[in-house]
Chain A
């Protein structure tokens, strides 16, 4: 079974631009969560989607948004990029919503975003 795939793997943007990242979950998984990982703040939860609905959201500004499609694929968008948005963006999929503690999250390799 193929793992979680994320595209693109690397991305360079300039301040003020916007970016869209894509995540394809493991086949059959309906929940997708997004995380931001930086050296200073570590791994922080952005949001989780299940059955095309945002189920939970972390403490990030409204410039960070996401959506999930009927095939469970998910995209996240960051508008008006800032230097501090440079990070590794990880998505994780699970069969059901992961926050209850009983589901295993499977992470993709991430998209490394550099904002200049």
Chain B
């Protein structure tokens, strides 16, 4: 059973378009992270959210943690080819001391 489901699985868009990636679970997480992974590399941490309802911005990327801390979203404004990659969410459930990774969203931004 996958605890963290991401949607969509694949997304191919034109440069300049906006997009939103979702990370959903029936479990409550004490914190949630978003990573981007490029081919041949390991994931790179983009953001950590810990408070329900929290919104964080990183340039053109906006991250939101759901009020109930069961879901999260990543919104990219005016996507660029450099945003291409695999986006992963990872949640930490209180007391487990380990991260569970989502199923991943593979994004391709066409120039």
Residues B53-93 near A (CB distance < 8 A): 88, 90, 92
A42, B87: Cα distance in complex, Å? 12
Q: Are A107 and B98 in touch, CB under 8 angstroms?
A: no
Q: Are B97 and A100 in touch, CB under 8 angstroms?
A: yes
Q: Are A104 and B40 in touch, CB under 8 angstroms?
A: no
Q: What is the interface size of chain B, counting residues whose CB is below 8 A from a CB of the partner?
A: 23
Instruction: Tell me if A43 counts as interface (CB < 8 A to partner B).
Output: yes
- 27 A–B pairs (Cβ distance < 8 Å), ordered by A: A33-B98, A35-B101, A43-B101, A44-B101, A45-B100, A48-B97, A55-B97, A56-B96, A90-B43, A92-B42, A98-B99, A99-B92, A99-B96, A99-B97, A99-B98, A99-B99, A100-B92, A101-B30, A101-B31, A101-B50, A101-B92, A102-B48, A104-B45, A104-B48, A105-B45, A109-B41, A110-B42
Q: Are B97 and A108 in touch, CB under 8 angstroms?
A: no
A108, B96: Cα distance in complex, Å? 23
Minimum-distance CB pairs A-B, first 6: A107-B42, A99-B97, A101-B31, A43-B101, A101-B92, A99-B98
Contacts of A108 in B (CB 8 A): 42
Contacts of A107 in B (CB 8 A): 41-44
Instruction: Tell me if A97 counts as interface (CB < 8 A to partner B).
Output: yes
Instruction: Tell me if A26 counts as interface (CB < 8 A to partner B).
Output: no
